[in-house]
Amino acid sequence: MQEKDQTPPASAGAAGARPVEDTPMLSRAAWARILPFITYIFFILVADLLGRLGWNADDLRWLYAVKISAVMLMLVIFRRHYSELRDARLGLVAAIVALVTGAVVLVLWVSLDADWMIIGSPDGFNPVTDGRIDWLMVAVRIFGAALVVPVMEELFWRSFLMRWIDDADFEKVEPAKVSLKAFVVTTLLFGFEHNLWLAGIVAGAAFSALYVRHRTLWSPVLAHALTNGLLGVWIVTTGNWTYW
């Protein structure tokens, strides 16, 4: 007769074992993607609070530079956790698809602006001082929107949240295998993060589709960067500051 194994299960307190219930819901890798996003949102809330306390919108314009600097600092601090950004290779066809997608999203972004497609009344960001555009302020704004925000948002929305919805150990989830539920939930939340909620949903769906299709975060980052960069040029050219 075979002798019965008397080894206690790991959950019963075996040496070195960690009970399942003690496993944190959010890992260090998760926080590395969440904290830069929270930092960005924090400064939006600060600006809103100061505005409600009577601060003039013109006096708060340079708060954007502080916000972007803080987000950049967070990204640098946690850079070692962004394994998906270490391989920057993106095929020519995939890059072209991402750029075309970014351009299409821009066109839709400035077109989907009917009253019912907008939440609230955004003040925007007006860099005009004494009748003249402050080009340094414009440069900082476009730099942040085109180079910092896409990395920060794609790390949070696509790399983390969309995969985390399927599995708390999100890093092991292949982009091409995310569920429809994760895709839809992330897209809707991304959309309603913006004043132009319908345009945001369209953009979220497009960027998520790129991530799933190309299986690299650099694809939606590239598209997102082009959208935001061209949007900045369009805003300065047309003077539609509320889109900022």
pLDDT in tens, 91-139: 999 999 999 999 999 999 999 999 999 998 777 899 998 889 999 999 9
Q: How far is CA 44 from CA 18, 38, 47, 85, 191, in A?
A: 39, 10, 5, 26, 17
Is residue 187 within 8 Å of residue 199, measured between CB atoms? no
Residue 183's closest CA among 207, 199, 166, 162?
162
159-190 pLDDT per residue, tens: 999 999 999 999 999 999 999 999 999 999 99
Please give the share of the chain, as a percent, with pLDDT higher than 90.
80
pLDDT at 174: 96
**Residue 73, phi then psi, degrees to nearest 5:** -60, -45
CA-based torsion, 60, 65, 66, 72: positive or negative: positive
pLDDT at 88: 77
8-57 pLDDT per residue, tens: 454 444 444 444 445 567 899 999 999 999 999 999 999 989 988 989 88
The first and second tokens of residue 190, run together, are: 């991304």
